[in-house]
Structure 1
Amino acid sequence: MFGRHHHRGSGHGRFAVRGGRHFGPFTVEFDMGEGPRRGGGRRRFDGDELRLILLKLIAEAPRHGYDLIREIEARTGGAYAPSPGVVYPTLTLLDEMGLIAQQASEGAKKLFAVTAEGEALLAAQAEQVEALMARLADLSDARARGEGGPVRRAMHNLKAAVIGRVAQGAEIETLHAITDILDDAARRIERL
């Protein structure tokens, strides 16, 4: 079943979201916290880092999820845009932790502002937050030099979409369909 584990050791606000689901003969486990990706690569930002980035951007001005995605994409020169499947659950977690709070807004979009607890966490993590914001700028510089690109962004979005769909409680037929789509995409890429 799903579980949220908040790790707040030493007052540094460390936490991770872990979970798993059983689907007939399949068991799907996922971790949206820290950790290396398969193949020895590293996530662009781990779960804790993305939470701090979102919190910092919300502290600059109240924002909604789509605005946060566009702001990160703009600050990285288009090199990185977190998927909605990562941003919205992270906003829910930040809200549940009392680091942000929903404000009245026009329309259906939820507008969030930082709370006093969120400001305190940002102050306690100021050095790390500054380094993370510098990394966003570095991604923009790297993109301008031709490094990185849309393939990594697309792979990140694919991973988030699969994890998000499986986490919603997919039936066995849906899991087989997802597997077929992924296998077909791999075959098509190999033939390029």
Structure 2
Amino acid sequence: MHRHKLFHDHLVRRGRHGWSGGMGRHGERRGRFGRFFGHGDLRTVILALLEAQPRHGYELIKELEDRTGGAYRPSPGVIYPTLALLEDEGRVRQAGGETGRKLYEISDEGRAELDGDRTAVEALFARMEDAGRHAGPGRPRVERALANLQMALKARMARPVSAEELDRIVGMIDDTASSIERT
């Protein structure tokens, strides 16, 4: 079995309670129940965000993460190709901006596409808001801290560990868990 497949299976396991999390096929963070957006939904959300104001790709990534409380953070490998496609279709255009950073704005064709189904746009933003409410404001920070702990543990466990060192590591983790429960 390929190493990539093993890693993917480790990150995203389907159980009786839904997806456990991890990264999606195209670099987007998966939620507990799979992909955050259905086919074409990200495109619609990008158009709606650009309708509100011109933005750079990174600003779109940050806005999506903020609006979902960290439940969804698309990778640049998802945002930039979508912007390029929308530009090719005439739905968005570059609006100038700093050297090296493309600023995008919605075009009349993009507005017409959004006007075709405002109900879907409102439903997508309601879903994002709901995810943000359930995620809580600290979720991205907690996930980052957990990722740091996991990386530190993997790095440490890759080297030889004595029984005493292992007891100390396990004790620190247990103490931290107890402290968190008490707060």
Q: Which residue of 2 aligns with 1:74?
A: 66
Q: Which residue of 2 aligns with 1:142?
A: 134
CA distance in 2, matches of 1:38, 1:98: 39
Matched, 1:110 2:102: yes
Count of residues in Structure 1 that have an aligned counterpart in Structure 2: 123
Counterpart mapping for 1:121-136 below 5 A: 121-136=113-128
Q: Which residue of 1 aligns with 2:55?
A: 63
Q: CA deviation at 1:150?
A: 3.8
TM-score between the two structures when normalised by the length of structure 2: 0.58
User: Unaligned stretches of 5+ in structure 2?
Assistant: 3-11, 19-32, 148-153, 159-183
TM-score between the two structures when normalised by the length of structure 1: 0.55
Matched, 1:45 2:45: no
Cα deviation digits, residues 133-188 of structure 1 (max 9, x gap): 1111111111029999849xx9xxxxxxxxxxxxxxxxxxxxxxxxxxxxx9xxx9
CA distance in 1, matches of 2:70, 2:118: 25
Q: CA deviation at 1:79?
A: 2.4
CA distance in 1, matches of 2:13, 2:117: 28
Cα deviation digits, residues 42-88 of structure 1 (max 9, x gap): 31113400110111001100011000011111111222211111101
- State percent identity of aligned pairs: 44
User: Following TM superposition, where does structure 1 have runs of at least 4 consecutive aligned residues deviating by more than 6 angstroms?
Assistant: 145-149
> Partner amino acid for 2:88?
E
CA distance in 2, matches of 1:38, 1:46: 20
Counterpart mapping for 1:153-192 below 5 A: none
Superposed CA RMSD:
3.1
The question of whether the paired residues in 2 share the 8 Å contact of 1:64 and 1:112 is answered with yes
**Who wins on radius of gyration, i.e. which is larger?**
2
The question of whether the paired residues in 2 share the 8 Å contact of 1:61 and 1:113 is answered with yes
User: What secondary structure is seen at the aligned counterpart in 2 of 1:82?
Assistant: coil
